[in-house]
Amino acid sequence: MYNKGLFSDWVPKPVQLLMMVLLLIVVMPLGGVYTGNISFMVGGTGVMQEYFVWANYATTIGMGACMPVVMRMKMRFKVRDKVVILLVLLGILSYINSTTSVPLVIVITSLVIGFLKMMITIELFLPLMVMLGGRGIFYGVFYTFVLILNQVSAYYAVEVSVQYNFQQFFVLASVLCFAMALLCWVFMHDKYFALKVPLHYIDWLSILLFVSTFMFSAYVLSFGKQQDWLNSKNIINASITAFVSFALLAIRQMTLKRPYISFNIFTKSNVLNGLFMLFCLGMFLGTTSLQNIFSVGVLGYDQLTNAKLNVMMAPGIFLAGVVAVFWFKKERPLKMFIFSGFAAMTAYAVIMYFSMVLEFNYENWYLPMFLKGFGMGSLFISVWYYTLDKLELDEMLAAIGLVLVWRTFLAVGFFSALFSWFQYQFQIVSLGDLAVYMDGMTITPQTVTANLKTIQLNAMLAANKKIFGFISMAGFGVLLYVITHHFGKRTEYLRVIRLLNGKSVIARRRERERKKLEEDIKGAAGPAL
């Protein structure tokens, strides 16, 4: 009557694995917009870039909104019916994005795409978790695969946009969704995962308040620079609406028997420290905007060449995954693995600080992008593992949506907006500093006009260098924090317990910890992107 797998019994195991890999390849990179072809969407639709940045954030917000209810959705519907319908809906939404030029439609479809694709990906986590073994090993393999997949898909999104137009990649994604829906209808079973549960316990008002909170926050971070932050009534009104929505969301959770999200886990030490480290990771990932200014604005790379830079991170991500698998197999402490990730990110910032020159060669990108890839891969795996470690299943599922949005949207979006604002301010200061050496009595207007481009480029380089310098100093501070943090081992009591009660207590304690770490569903929900 029930089947905790995905496929019918007659389907061979290799075919099942192939189907899961194909589903990951199709579903995981899916989004309302693709960062690589945003410039093509701006040129093709004539809409401001900020709308597509907002839509990109909306996909993450939709995934976070789905996480607290994803297990109830999983047990309410039959596996085949749910996956097939979701793939068809995702294909339709991708096709809508390929035909519309209305920016708000793209923002809304991006939000819905994030919500729907989370229901499919959760179906893949559990069987892959069982197949690979421990949660840490699963994180190492899964994150490595997904992060490399995202870089490659972003590159091909740009290549298709260059060869044809940006609509063609959405059409391609739509066709792949429909093809996978047909394959899933053939190979998947039509049974329930477990005892069917009702949907009327889901508090849809809380979901609406959650979406409202972060969508208005995303509007502020996306349009802040364009509308001059607090000098704009729209930014002020959006900020107030986001704050009020979050306050109403928090108050409503206190009145519900089954709250949509839980704030209890934010009192735990590992969660708070994990959130801080995810925030620091967002600081390094936010340098992508500075990197694009340098590569496209200063060095003059086209979009396809710029997309190749992100593919250069793939070897570093792969190495981080290999190290993670061996690290968790040996059950080593996380401290030095996390330290190595932040050290790689800091080294990337230091190299970029010394690389802000007009003569920067393309081959010089290999080392910094390798370090950035290793840092991103190792920190995604280790910090996420540490943040969700030793949490009860109900607590984790009720709060993982907030943690997901914090990691992927708030931290990265905040620092991207901050760096963008500082870059503009520092650029103005640099132009003023360069103007000191220009005298109208000795330099003719014709000479100034001829050198105007060089002056502007040097101002951009000076602004970028100053920001990378601050990031490097902050990176050394983060390294000091990591090396001095206890990571849950403030005092070692095992020797005292052994003296008082004997080794049997130690054995029982280890057995309880082992069972807690091997909760399949918990481990399956943890790596949600």
Per domain, the residue ranges of the chain are: 1-201+491-529, 203-259, 264-490
CA 194 – CA 464 distance, rounded (Å): 54
CATH number of 1-201+491-529: 1.20.1250
User: Do residues 383 and 278 make contact, with C-beta atoms less than 8 angstroms apart?
Assistant: yes
What the block records as the tokens of 414 is 């905040």
The DSSP 8-state label assigned to residue 268 in this structure reads S
Hey, how many other C-beta atoms are within 10 angstroms of the C-beta on 292? 16
Name the region of 133 (left: φ>0; alpha: ψ -120 to 50; beta: rest): left
CA 177 – CA 98 distance, rounded (Å): 14
pLDDT of residue 241: 95
As a three-state string, the secondary structure of 319-374 is HHHHHHHHHHHCCCCCHHHHHHHHHHHHHHHHHHHHCCCCCCCHHHHHHHHHHHHH
SS3 256: coil
Distances (CA, A) of 135 to 118, 274, 319, 339, 342: 19, 17, 19, 20, 22
| Domain 1-201+491-529 and domain 264-490 have a common topology | yes
User: Do residues 347 and 191 make contact, with C-beta atoms less than 8 angstroms apart?
Assistant: no
Distance, C-alpha 340 to centroid of its chain: 20
CA 346 – CA 281 distance, rounded (Å): 10
In degrees rounded to 5, what are phi and psi of residue 286? Answer: -70, -10
CA 29 – CA 25 distance, rounded (Å): 7
The DSSP 8-state label assigned to residue 145 in this structure reads H
CA 283 – CA 237 distance, rounded (Å): 27
User: Do residues 79 and 119 make contact, with C-beta atoms less than 8 angstroms apart?
Assistant: no
Please state the pTM of the whole predicted model. 0.85
Could you say which residues of the chain have pLDDT below 70? 1-4, 133, 194, 392-395, 397-398, 439-444, 446-448, 450, 488-529
pLDDT of residue 89: 94
pLDDT of residue 192: 72
The DSSP 8-state label assigned to residue 312 in this structure reads T
User: Do residues 139 and 381 make contact, with C-beta atoms less than 8 angstroms apart?
Assistant: yes
SS3 501: helix
For residue 163, count CB atoms less than 10 angstroms from its CB and return exposed for 0-12, middle for 13-18, buried for 19 or more: exposed
CATH number of 264-490: 1.20.1250.20
Q: Which residue bears the tokens 């994180």? A: 139
For residue 410, count CB atoms less than 10 angstroms from its CB and return exposed for 0-12, middle for 13-18, buried for 19 or more: buried
The DSSP 8-state label assigned to residue 37 in this structure reads G
CA 355 – CA 128 distance, rounded (Å): 42
